[in-house]
Amino acid sequence: MKRALIALFGGAIVLAGCGGNTAATNPSTGNANLPTPPGASLTGAGATFPQPFYAAAFFAYNKKFSQVTVNYQAVGSGAGIQQLTKKTVDFGASDVPLKSSEADAMGGSDKVVQLAGTLGTESLAYNLQGVGGGQLKLTPDTIAGIFLGMIKKWNDPALKADNSGISLPDQDIHVVHRSDGSGTTYIFSDYLSSVSSEWASKVGRGKSVSWPVGQGASGNAAVATTIKQTPGAIGYVELAYVLQTNMTQATLKNKDGNFVLPSAAGATAAAKQFAGASPSQFSIVNAPGRDSAPISGYSWLMLYKDQANKARGTAMVDLFYWLVTDGQQYATNLHYAALPGNMVSYDLAVLKSVTSGGTTLLSVSS
Amino acid sequence: MAPKLVATSRQRPLISGDRLFRAIAYGAAALILLIAAVFIVALLIPALPAITKFGLGFFVSRTWDPVRVQFGALPAIYGTLVTSAIALLIAFPVGMGAALFLAEDARLRLLRGPLSFAIELLAGIPSVVIGLWAFFILTPLMRDNVDPFLKHTLGFLPFFQGSASGYGFLTAGVVLAIMVLPIMVALSRDVIRAVPLALREASLALGATNAETIWSVVLPYARVGITGAVLLSLGRALGETIAVTMVIGNRPEISASLFSTGYTLPSVIANEFTEAVGNVYLGALFYLGLVLVVITIVVNVLARLLVWRFTGSEPTAA
C-alpha cells in the first residue's frame, strides 16, 4: 500500500516535472522502480555553486524516504576534494572534475567515480543607467575585450557597433570578478579561453586566475551586489543569482551567431550538443546550436567506486539515482538546468559501476 | 611580629597539595608555549613547497597567477601596510583627542560615562557587521562624496588620482580606523591617567595653563605608552580580515593612488584557501600566513614591551 502510494505520488511529480522539459527523462527510469534505500545518514562536501539545488533536492528526498538524511556542506570544491580524500565525507562535489593528481591522492582514477549532478549557466550582469535587461548585446570579441582590459569605455566603437539601438554612455567600464576560487570562474575563464586566443595565452583557465582588470568580490552574492551598487559595472554571475535579484543581464552572441538571453533551457540546449561529455571531456562552453547559452557547465559529484559500508553505499547510489532522474525537477525551479538525456545515461552507467565487496549496489533494472 | 610570621611561612616545607598546584601551574604555562611552537611549525610545514620554490623572491614578486602557479607576496604586503598606515593616520588624532578628553577634562564629567560606554560598544561590534555596513553604506559614500572631494582639493598628489570606484585602499583604511579606534582610545586614556599627579601639579604651580601642561608635561611623559597603544592598534589592523576583504577590491595591485583597489595578506588567504589545489598554491597561502604571523608577533611584542615599560615602572622612582 505504502509503496503504491509512493509510486503514485512520485509518478505525479514526474509528470509535473516533465511538463515543460523533456530533457531529464530517460525512458528506462520510470518512477515505479525507484529503489527504497536502506537507512543512512550521508555527508557530502564541496562546491558552493550547486548548493541551493542539492539542499532543496536532498530535503525533498528525505521527505520521501525519511530514513535517509543528507548533510551537504558547501565548503568549496577544493576543501570537498580534500575531505573525500581523507574519507571524512561520503561524497564530494566540484564544478571541475578531478585532476589526475587529485584522483591519484584518492588511490588512482579507477578507485573513484564521477557523475554530473546538475548543470548551470552564467550571465553577464551590468549596471548602466538607461540600459535595461537584455538590451545590451555582447559578442565573444567584446566580452574578451572588456575582460582583457582593451575595451575600457562603454561607448567604445566595438560595443556601439553591436548596440545601434541604445545609447551607451561615455563611462568607465568597471569589471567585477570573483576573488575566491570558484567553479564559476573556471567556466567563465574556460569560455574566454575558447573564444579568445589572447586570453588563452595571457590568462588561461582556472578556478582563480590573474585578472588583467577589475576588482574582486567573494562569492556570487557579493559580485552581484557590487555590480548593483557600482555604476558602469559588469561581471559574470550565476544565472540563479541574476534572476533572484532582478539584475540586468546582457544578451550574448553564441557560436551560431544568435543572440540569446542566458536561461536554464539554453544551458540544456548547449549541453545536448556535447553527446560524449564525461569527466574527462567536460567543457561545454561556446556550444554550437541555435539556442545554446554560451557560458554553461556541469557540476560533478564524486564517490569511491568500492564502498566500504554496503548500507551507506546503497543509500548513496539510490539517492544519486533519484537525483539525476526525478530529482532534476528541483533544478529548474531554482534556475539550474535539467541534465540532458545523454548525461543522465552516463550518470546511470557510473552509478551501476559502484560496488561493495564486489556486489553492484544499484538495484534498478533498465 | 610580622616579619617573623612571614619568615616561618616561607620556610614551611611544601605540602603535597602545594606541589600538585605548582606542577599544574607550570604545566599550563608550558602548554601555552608548546601550543605557540606547534602552531608555527604547523604553518611552516605546509608552507615548505612554496618556500623551496620561491624562496625570498616571494617577497619581491608582484605576480599572483594560480593558473601558472607563480606567486609573490609583494602586493599583499604592500596592501596590508598601506591600509594599516591609513588607519593609524586617521585613528591617531581622533583617538588622542578622545583619550585626552576622557583623562584630563574634569569639567564635562557627565559626558565621560556615555563616551566611555560608546567606545567600548564600538570595540564589541563584530567585524563582519562593520564590513557589511562598509560594503553597503561606506563604499557608495566614498565613491560619490569623499573621493571626488579629495580628487578636487588634493588631486595634485599622486595619492588622490585615477578613477574611484569606492573600493580600495582608502575605504579599507577608513574601516580599519573605525575598528582600531576603541583600542587606541582606551589604552591612551589609561596611559595618560597614569601620569603622576605631582608632575601636573608642579607644572600648574609654575604657572603653566592646562593646555601647556598637557602639551609639555603629560604627553612627553606618556609618549612611550602612547606609542605602545599605537602599535597594539597596528597589530589589530594588520590581521583584520573580513571587513577589509569586503571593501578593498581584492586585486593584487601596487598603486600610489589610494583610490586604487588592492589586496591584503589576510584577504588573500580568506579568499583563496577553499579552492587552492596543489601543494605549491596551498603552500603559498601558508607562506603568506607565516609572513603575517611574523609581522604581527613583532608588532605586538614591541607594543607590549613599551606599554609595560611605562605603566609597570614606578613613576616615583624617577
> Could you give the 3-state DSSP secondary structure of residue A191?
helix
Q: Judge whether A118 and A183 are in contact, CB under 8 Å.
A: no
Lowest-confidence range among A272-281, B28-37, B160-169?
B160-169
Q: Cβ A204–B68 below 8 Å, yes or no?
A: yes
Q: Cβ B251–A180 below 8 Å, yes or no?
A: no
Q: Cβ A209–B167 below 8 Å, yes or no?
A: no
Q: Cβ B143–A226 below 8 Å, yes or no?
A: no
Lowest-confidence range among B172-176, B229-233, B243-247, B309-313?
B309-313
Touching B: A residues 224-243, CB under 8 Å: 225-226, 229-230
* Crossing angle for the helix pair A310-324 and A51-64, to the nearest 10 degrees: 110
A212 touches chain B (CB under 8 A): no
User: How far apart are alpha carbons B20 and A83 in whole angstroms?
Assistant: 42
Amino acid at B263: Y
- pLDDT tens digit at each of 366 positions of chain A: 444 444 444 433 333 333 333 333 343 444 657 888 899 999 999 988 888 899 999 999 999 999 999 999 988 888 889 899 999 999 999 989 998 888 898 988 889 999 999 999 999 999 998 898 889 999 999 999 999 999 999 999 999 999 988 999 999 999 999 998 888 999 999 999 999 999 999 999 998 999 999 999 988 888 999 999 999 999 999 998 898 888 999 999 999 999 999 999 999 999 999 998 999 899 999 999 999 999 999 999 999 999 999 999 999 999 999 999 999 999 988 889 999 999 999 999 999 999 998 888 888 755
A81 touches chain B (CB under 8 A): yes
| Predicted pLDDT of residue B317 | 33
Angle at A183 between CA A354 and CA B129, to 5 degrees: 120
CB within 8 A of A104, min separation 6: which ones? Answer: none
User: Which segments within chain B are labelled E, that is strand?
Assistant: 64-65, 70-71
DSSP B8-24: HHHHSPPPHHHHHHHHH
Instruction: Read off the pLDDT of each residue in B289-310 and give the average, rounded to a whole number.
Output: 84
Q: Judge whether A306 and A238 are in contact, CB under 8 Å.
A: no
Q: Distance (Å) from the C-alpha of residue A48 to the closest C-alpha of chain B?
A: 10
**Torsion angle, CA of B265/B266/B272/B273, rounded to 10 degrees?**
120
Give the max Cα distance, chain B.
80
| Predicted pLDDT of residue A32 | 56
| Predicted pLDDT of residue A18 | 38
Give residue B278's region: left, alpha or beta (phi > 0; psi -120 to 50): left
Q: Judge whether A262 and A122 are in contact, CB under 8 Å.
A: yes
Of the candidates A327, A234, A280, which has an alpha carbon nearest to the alpha carbon of residue A114? A280
A205 touches chain B (CB under 8 A): yes
Q: Distance (Å) from the C-alpha of residue B230 to the closest C-alpha of chain A?
A: 30
Instruction: Read off the pLDDT of each residue in B271-284 and give the average, rounded to a whole number.
Output: 85
| Predicted pLDDT of residue B10 | 55
Long-range own/partner contacts, residues A145-152 (CB < 8 A, 24 or more apart): A146/A173, A146/A175, A146/A234, A147/A175, A147/A177, A147/A192, A147/A199, A147/A211, A147/A212, A147/A213, A147/A214, A148/A196, A148/A198, A148/A199, A148/A202, A148/A203, A148/A212, A148/A213, A149/A175, A149/A212, A149/A213
Of the candidates B164, B167, B160, which has an alpha carbon nearest to the alpha carbon of residue B138? B167
| Reported confidence tier of residue B11, pLDDT bands at 50, 70, 90 | low
Amino acid at A90: D
Q: What is the pTM of this model?
A: 0.83
| Reported confidence tier of residue B103, pLDDT bands at 50, 70, 90 | confident
Amino acid at B203: S
Q: Cβ B272–A182 below 8 Å, yes or no?
A: no
DSSP A53-100: HHHHHHHHHHHH-TTEEEEEE---HHHHHHHHHTTSSSEEEESSPPPH
Name every chain A residue with its beta carbon within 8 A of the beta carbon of B167. Answer: 215, 226
- Which of A49, A188, A208 best tests the B interface by mutation, with the highest count of B CBs <10 A? A208
User: How far apart are alpha carbons A245 and A250 in whole angstroms?
Assistant: 15
| Reported confidence tier of residue B114, pLDDT bands at 50, 70, 90 | confident
Of the candidates A104, A100, A84, A96, which has an alpha carbon nearest to the alpha carbon of residue A307? A84
> Could you give the 3-state DSSP secondary structure of residue A106?
coil
Lowest-confidence range among B72-81, B114-123, B232-241, B253-262?
B114-123
| Predicted pLDDT of residue A233 | 95
**Torsion angle, CA of B273/B278/B282/B284, rounded to 10 degrees?**
-130
List phi, psi (to 5°) of B191: -65, -45
- Residue B216, Cβ neighbours under 10 Å: how many? 12
ipTM score: 0.78
Q: Cβ B275–A77 below 8 Å, yes or no?
A: yes
Q: Cβ A215–B166 below 8 Å, yes or no?
A: no
> Could you give the 3-state DSSP secondary structure of residue B85?
helix
